[in-house]
Structure 1
C-alpha cells in the first residue's frame, strides 16, 4: 500500500468532480440569466457597424434624412450608454443614396466589403431598397427597411436577409382605401408616381376598391419628382371620380395636395386621398390645407405615454416630431442590437432567426416578424384635425381606428415569397 498515492488519486477524483459540478452550475447560471450558452461570443471584425442609407437631400429627406440618423443614434444610446454590445464598439455610418438604385447598391457593396458594415437600415425609395436588399443577400448581411412602401419587398422579391419594418402598400390600402370606400366614395382616379411603389400602391388600393364594389375611373402616371401636377389634376377632375387618389410620396404628395387646393378640387364634391402621407407632410401643408384628409400610418407620436416620451426626446434633438419611418429606424436598430446581445454574435443567420422568433415590443411598435420578413404590427387609421382642434404644435391627428396586424399585412396563404411557399 502507498497511502500517498491513494490520497493523490482521491484528490484527483475530487478535482474532476468539482470541475463537473462547477461546469454544471455555470451552465445552469447561463440558462437562468438568459445569456446564450455559446462556447464564445463572436463579433466579426471586433466591431458592430450599422449603416443608415437614406435620402439626405431629396424628395423624401424631410421624413427620413438626417432625422433617420438621429433615430439610429438614439437607439444606440438607449441600448448601451457606453456604446458597446458584447464588449465591442457600436459604430454608425450614414450616406445619401440620392434616390438612385445604382448609387444605393454601390454604397451597400462598399460598406459591406470595405467598411465592415453588418446591417443597413432605413432605405427609403423602393427601387433603392430592392437593390440594396439584393446586395445584402449576396454578401450575407442584413437590410432592415423602414421608409419604402412596396409590398414586393416581402412578397415576390423577398429574401432571408431582409425585414420590412414599418409599412407597405398592402397595409396602407387596407386602411385608407377601405375606410374611404366605406363612406360610399367608390369611383376613384389615381395619380401615381411612375416607379415601383407608385404602381404597388395603385394596385393594392385598386384591389381593395374593387373588392368592395368600387371602380377605377383612370390612372395618370407622373415622372419622379414632379413640380407641376396641373395636367394630371385637371384630367382627374374632369373624370368626375369621387376620389382623386395620390399614389406617390414626400414632396410630390405635398405639391399635388397644394395644387389641388389651388384648382378648387379640395372642398369640392371630389375628395383628395393620399395613399401614403407622413406627419412631416401634414406639417408642411398646414392644418388649413390638410384638414380632413384620411390616411394610414404605422406610428403616431401622440398616441400614448410611451410614444410621447420618446418623441419629445427626438424633438429636442431635431425640432421636429418623428415620422413613422424615423421611428422605424430607431426600432430596427434597437432590436437588432438586442438580438446581437441575446445571441452572443452578429452572425447574420443567427440574428435573423432570433428576430423572427421573438415578439417585439419597444414602446413604439409591437408585433412579430413573419417568415416572409414582414414585421406585422397594428396600423393606425387617422384623420387630420381642423386647426381649431389642435391643442399644440404637431398635434395633427384624430385616431379613427386601429387596423390589427392580421389585417394590415398580406395573408401568408396569398404570399408569393419563396420563404413561405418553400
Structure 2
C-alpha cells in the first residue's frame, strides 16, 4: 500500500494506526477489492509440538495408519499424473477478460457466420464411442436432433420426438448440450426419468440430484473420449470451467487405469464428486421451488414404497450403452449415506421441513375428514335401521294383539235376524 499524504501524515499526527488491508483473488482469475480486516495483528499457532506417537499408538492403530499411508500414496500418484497432463490445457490468466471483450462486440447482433451446422454436431458425436451410442439409441426410438432458435440452450421434446439445439452458440457448447439431452432421453427409455415430485420429499431430493449428476457424468466421459480422439478443445473447456473438479476426478481414475472408463469406476468418481460440491444446494433450491408450487401430491403415496422405488431407480440410472453399470454396486449405500441424502443448506432444509410438515398435516386432515364422514354415514345408517326395526316391532305387536282379541259379531247377527222377521 503506497504511502500518500492522505494515509500517512494525518494518522501519525492523531496517533492512529492504519487498519490492515488485504488484496486477494479467487482461483487466480477473479480479482477482489481490498477488504478491511482488523487493526489487530494475526496470530498463528505454534504447531511444532513433539508427541510420542510410538508410545501412544497400538498395533491396530499402526496397521490402520499404514493402510492410510498406502491409500494416500496412491492418491498422490493419481494427482501427480494428472497435474502433468493438465499443463497442456492451461490458459492465460487474462483469457476470461479477452473472451469478455470479444463477446461484448456481439451483444447487439450475432453474426450469421457464427451459426453452427447440424452436420458439425453429428460429426463430433461420432468421434466419441459413448456419445455415438447414445445417438444411435435415440435414432432407433425415432428421435431426431434439430437446430432451433426458439430454445435457450437445448430441449428434449418427447411429443415432437426431437432434440432441439440452439445454433447461435459455440460448437463445443452445442455438443455438450446434445450429449446432455441424449442422456436424458436414455434415462426416459430406461425408466429412470420419473419426475422427482412423484416421490416423497426426502427421496425426491436424492432422485433429482442423481438424475442431474448422471447427465453431467455423461458429458465428462464424452469429453474425455473426444480428447483421446484428438478433439482436445472439449476437454480444455472442462478443465478451465467450473466443472474442472468433475473432470479431474474422472481423469485421475482414467490415467491410472484405462479400464476404469468402461467398468464404471471413473464415472462413479465423477458422480461422488458432484455430490461433494455446492451443486446440491443449487439443484435443491430449484426443486424446492417446484415443490412449493405443486398441489397434486405424491404419485407414490406410501413412504416405504417411495424408498424402494428410489433404490431401483438409482440402480438402473447407472446403466450405460456399453460397459458396466456404475451405480449398481453402490445403490443401497447412496440411499443411506448422508453425503448423498443430507440437505446441507440451512435455508433449503427449513423449506423442506415446512413442505413435509404441510403434506403430513394435509394427510392427517384428510384422514380426519374421511373418518368423520364414515362416522356420520354409520350414524345415518344406524338411525334408519333402528327406525325400521321399531316399525317392524310395532307391526308384530299389533298382529299379536289382533290374534289375542275375541271378536263377537253381535250387531251383525241382530241386523240379520231383523231382516228375516220383516
- The two structures have a TM-score, normalised by structure 2, of 0.24
More helix by share: 2
Higher RCO by CA contacts (8 Å cutoff, separation 6 or greater): 1
More strand by share: 1
